[in-house]
Amino acid sequence: MAPRPHWLFGDQLGPHFLDPRHGGPDDRAPVVMIEARSVLRRRRFHRAKAHLVLSAMRHRAAELGDRVTYVRTETYGEGLEKVRGRGPLTVCHPTSRRALEFVSGREDVEILPAKGFLVSHDDFAEWAGKGEAEGKGKGKGQGRGQGKGGGNLRLEGFYRWVRERHELLMDGDRPVGGRWNLDHENREPPPRGQETLDVRGPWRPSEDEIDEEVRHDLDRWERDGEVSFVGRDGPRLFPATRREARTALRHFVAHRLAGFGPHEDAMLAADPVLSHSLLSAPLNLGLLDPAECVELAEEAYREGDAPLNSVEGFVRQIAGWREYVWHLYWHFGEEYRHRNALRHTDPLPGWFLDLDADAVTAHCLSTVLAQVRDTGWTHHIPRLMVLGSRALQDGWDPAAVTDWFHRCFVDGYDWVMLPNVVGMSQYADGGRMTTKPYTSGGAYIHRMSDFCAPCAYRPTDRTGEQACPYTTGYWAFLHRHRTRLAANHRTARAVKGLDRLKDLRELLETAADRGDTPP
């Protein structure tokens, strides 16, 4: 009996999605891929993201050769109609609720277990369920989100559980070096007086005829008014094939991992990449499996090629945060998308939507917006403490902020951005995911970057013509949500600082006068 064809989504492009082990498809199964243009019509994506995804899909189809039926059509439904004669299909669990609902509603598609993650849905549910059951016995409000073994659904408990379960950076039943968390060694500001870190640059791909074809198609569709993009495109900066992704991973581990840890939270205007791996895009396209990434990093530590703090920081990002976000996306349910605990409803201003960095005066925000405009990427601290912090301080609608991050980042997908933005960045879930809102005044940006020196504003000024919009915005945010934040032990002390501000009224007037004017 001939094996059933297997459908590959555009973020399931690595060999592990065709591996018959662990519930995968038959190793002789024909493959179906559908390039649905309606996906690009629904949102105004970053042009570089559209190019990367289509390039990666077409490269994968070229690799599969006669095994694949590659359909270019308007919708997934139309694409499936074109391959209907092939009989029922299998597909690995999709990465978005919308895609899952679509395939779940079809009798001709069987959903196989998810791939591309270290922890299965069942294992996470068991871990979370045990903790929630334990939490019910601890009194009203005390056990919410409790995790296995008295931990909780916060990252730290989950991360330790993953490390133990997968024997990552472990010496027996203890963490290598005796500590689970080396964050305190990985928060150094950038070296003063240096515009760049003294590290080897990241690996970059070379474009080929498939890239040229994709760019020609995007030009034509945009010219014909079929789609619209933001940002700039070209040359391609991220892997689009398995071979490229493996090369990028090996290059990072060999030449950049050792220096990753200390400055992973730092920001430099002329060096947006620093020592970051740039592997989130190929990971989220399915070109890399997280296990191979963390195992190669641990091997570098064991062989003395990278220090523990750098390796632990990298492992935490992939085996900790990435897995954590993936599972919370499903665990919290669809209603999480609509959470808005702070009742922020302001629309995103036009200059932000259009990535118009030239319209912005604040050097930090202008620089980061330009990085996103030019590459579709910036690392986690500019995302959180420059872009997300501005949105939080000004009260922008968290659903609109989530959509913006999804569209404008090459590594942005629904499962990635929903918990990251609603929970981490905008605190719209009221603390279900994190213990406090992540925002700050200009002092943090000044300490962790070289953005402030050439800026028209001063990070210490709350009022006046040189008032830093982040400093003003920070105190205005605390004032606006004073009652809620005073009851939070992580923010109560900061709220008390409002009472010491003799210029609070003037500060609030400064914040109100700013409105939607770019700072």
C-alpha 417/C-alpha 305 separation (Å) is 33
The answer on 293 and 215 residing in a single domain is: yes
Do residues 415 and 95 lie in contact, with contact meaning Cβ atoms separated by under 8 Å? yes
**How distant, in Å, are the alpha carbons of 71, 248, 298, 321 from that of 315?**
37, 17, 8, 9
The answer on 366 and 490 residing in a single domain is: yes
Checking if the pLDDT of 86 tops 90, the result is: no
Average pLDDT, the chain: 94
pLDDT for the residue numbered 513: 83
Final residue before a domain boundary, out of 92, 112, 132 = 112
C-alpha 380/C-alpha 271 separation (Å) is 14
User: What tens digit of pLDDT does each residue of 152-191 get?
Assistant: 688 999 999 999 999 999 999 999 999 999 999 999 999 9
Q: State the CATH number of the domain containing residue 67.
A: 3.40.50.620
Any domain includes 183: yes
When pLDDT is averaged across residues 371-388 and rounded to a whole number, the result is 98
pLDDT for the residue numbered 514: 72
C-alpha 327/C-alpha 40 separation (Å) is 26
The answer on 270 and 172 residing in a single domain is: yes
Burial (CB < 10 A; 0-12, 13-18, 19+), residue 2, is: exposed
For the record, the structure tokens of 81 come out as 């109609």
pLDDT for the residue numbered 517: 60
Residue predicted with more confidence, 87 or 127 = 127
The answer on 400 and 509 residing in a single domain is: yes
User: What tens digit of pLDDT does each residue of 290-331 get?
Assistant: 999 999 999 999 999 999 999 999 999 999 999 999 999 999
The answer on 494 and 355 residing in a single domain is: yes
The answer on 316 and 182 residing in a single domain is: yes
Neighbour count for residue 38 (Cβ, 10 Å):
13
Any domain includes 137: no
pLDDT for the residue numbered 429: 96
Domain housing 293 = 163-228+239-332
User: What tens digit of pLDDT does each residue of 2-57 get?
Assistant: 899 999 999 999 999 999 998 999 999 999 999 999 999 999 999 999 999 999 99
pLDDT for the residue numbered 153: 86
Specify the 3-state DSSP secondary structure of 44. coil
pLDDT for the residue numbered 134: 59
Checking if the pLDDT of 135 tops 80, the result is: no
Q: What is the DSSP letter of 314?
A: H
C-alpha 513/C-alpha 510 separation (Å) is 5
Counting the structural domains of the chain, the total is 3
The answer on 346 and 328 residing in a single domain is: no
Any domain includes 233: no
Q: State the CATH number of the domain containing residue 497.
A: 1.10.579.10
The answer on 210 and 68 residing in a single domain is: no
The answer on 106 and 171 residing in a single domain is: no
The answer on 304 and 277 residing in a single domain is: yes
User: What tens digit of pLDDT does each residue of 180-238 get?
Assistant: 999 999 999 999 999 999 999 999 999 999 999 999 999 999 999 999 999 999 899 99
When pLDDT is averaged across residues 252-268 and rounded to a whole number, the result is 98
Final residue before a domain boundary, out of 332, 355, 376 = 332
